[in-house]
Amino acid sequence: MRFPISLSLDLARYFMKKRWQGEERFPLVLMLEPTHQCNLSCAGCGRIQEYRDTLGQSLTLEECLDSVTECGAPIVTLTGGEPLIYPPIFELVEELLHRHKHIILCSNAILLEKSLDRLPVTPRLTLSVHLDGLAPLHERILGRPGLFHTAIKAIKEAKARGFRVCTNTTIYKESDTREIEILFSYLAKIGVDGLLVSPAYSFAAVDAEMFLSREEIQDKFTRLTGNGMKFRFSNTPLYLSFLRGERQYECTPWANPTRNTRGWRAPCYQILDGHYPTFQELMELTPWERYGVGRDPRCDQCMMHSGFEPTAVRQAGHRPKDLWQLLRWNLS
């Protein structure tokens, strides 16, 4: 199976509960950023610019856990910044597991190998390693030599110890699809459990030359994923077909809410128009109808995983053909 059975069952139960309660807008994945501090300064990172004034701040463990309760999403992605430099990261993981959450722990892998002793091996924890290409491209984007080797070494060690390991690859204008295919083949060979891909988003504060237009995204992802799905992607086939331009979706920005030291980020992981002090205020006060392709120029080139993958999953519940495709994909 592509995902652990416990995750599939928990998600199915969660969807049924929300439908039964008649909730139209509800979160699927909490993007928790306990700190924006990082041991890197990547070229495509918007957080460094957007949170320049608060980079040194962190959420307390208690604030993290309160946010998890407030939000209620069954999946928590720990991101940032680099989560492994957040001092209580191991306590946070432990507390989330006690709360029966599914955790995706994102990392640039610099501290991953030496953190493995303090992380539990469980299907509820997935390590997600950032890898944007083979060594030259990956290290140019991350701004430091040697990091490709560091990431591969950490992945091999994590797999040897029985961890569930995925990779997270952002596709930029300069990404060569042939190179990405070689990378994915290699990652499959060393036992990576899933490959998450997403086109980069053109953060206002970052060099726009790095990012792809919608047409360029469709072209690159047709070359990368329109090959009979030979790679083990963590993205659903529905979202990948959206990236190839074969189907249209509207985004559901509330499905992946982001919490950081300034509060609940509105409206989404990409655009920053403000922060709310509580999750309830985020959901109730954000003018959701103003966002999305054709409504806000900042959305026009966006095909981001965090905005559109939840739409694909939610809509599959109403389309038997899509639901069947999702089931078969998850069992493969």
Is residue 293 at the binding interface for ligand SF4, with CB under 6 A as the rule? yes
Q: Which residues of 188-197 are buried (b: 16+ CB within 10 A; e: fewer)?
A: eeeebbbbbb
Check if the beta carbon of residue 93 is closer than 8 Å to that of residue 125.
yes
Instruction: Estimate the crossing angle of helix 89-98 against helix 61-71, to 10 degrees.
Output: 30
Pick from 68, 304, 313, 316: which binds ligand SF4 (CB under 6 A)?
304
Of the candidate residues 34, 83, 292, 310, the single one contacting ligand SF4 (CB under 6 A): 292
Residue (142 or 303) nearer to ligand SF4, CB? 303
Q: Which two tokens stand for residue 77?
A: 């992605």
Applying CB under 6 A, the span of 64-72, 116-124, 149-157, 296-304 interacting with ligand SF4 comes to 296-304
The residue range among 6-14, 109-117, 172-180, 292-300 that interacts with ligand SF4, by the rule CB under 6 A, is 292-300
Among 31, 302, 313, 316, binds ligand SF4 (CB under 6 A): 302
- Min dist CB 259 to ligand SF4, Å, is 16
Min CB(267)–ligand SF4 separation in Å: 5
Q: Pairing between strand 29-35 and 258-260?
A: parallel
Query: CA 138 to CA 110: how far, in whole Å?
Result: 13
From residue 116, how far is each of 107, 308, 323, 328 by CA, in Å? 12, 32, 36, 33
Closest CA to 227 of 290, 170, 184: 184
Task: With CA atoms as reference, report the closest residue to 191 among 214, 220, 157, 216.
Answer: 157
Nearest distance in Å: CB 288, ligand SF4: 8
- Nearest distance from residue 30's CB to ligand SF4, in Å? 16
Least distance to ligand SF4 from the beta carbon of 306, Å?
Answer: 6
Tell which one of 307, 316, 322, 326 touches ligand SF4 (CB under 6 A). Answer: 307
Give min distance, CB of 271 to ligand SF4, in A.
5
User: How many residues contact ligand SF4, by CB under 6 A?
Assistant: 15
CB 198 to ligand SF4: min, Å: 11
Piece of the chain touching ligand SF4 by CB under 6 A; list 13-21, 77-85, 300-308, 317-325: 300-308
Q: Which of 32, 68, 110, 299 binds ligand SF4 (CB under 6 A)?
A: 299
Binding-site string for ligand SF4 from residue 212 to residue 251, where x marks contact by CB under 6 A and - marks none = ---------------------------------------x
Torsion of CA 139, 218, 303, 188, to 10 degrees: -50
Strand order in the sheet with 263-267: 194-199, 164-171, 125-130, 102-107, 75-80, 29-35, 258-260, 263-267, 272-276
Q: Specify the length of the chain in residues.
A: 332
Q: How would you classify the pairing of strands 258-260 and 263-267?
A: antiparallel
Whichever of 83 and 292 has its CB closer to ligand SF4, that residue is: 292
32/304 with CB nearer ligand SF4: 304
Closest residue (Cβ) to ligand SF4? Answer: 307
Contact 144, 110 (CB under 8 A): no
- What is the token pair recorded at 125? 């924890």
Q: Considering only residues 252-291, where is the footprint of ligand SF4 by CB under 6 A?
A: 253, 267-268, 270-271, 291
Q: Compute the least distance from the CB of residue 289 to ligand SF4, in Å.
A: 11
Sequence-separated (6 or more) residues with CB below 8 Å from residue 61: 88, 91, 92, 95
In the complex, minimum distance from the CB of residue 27 to ligand SF4, in angstroms, rounded to a whole number:
14
Name the residues that contact ligand SF4, by CB under 6 A. 251, 253, 267-268, 270-271, 291-293, 296, 298-299, 302, 304, 307
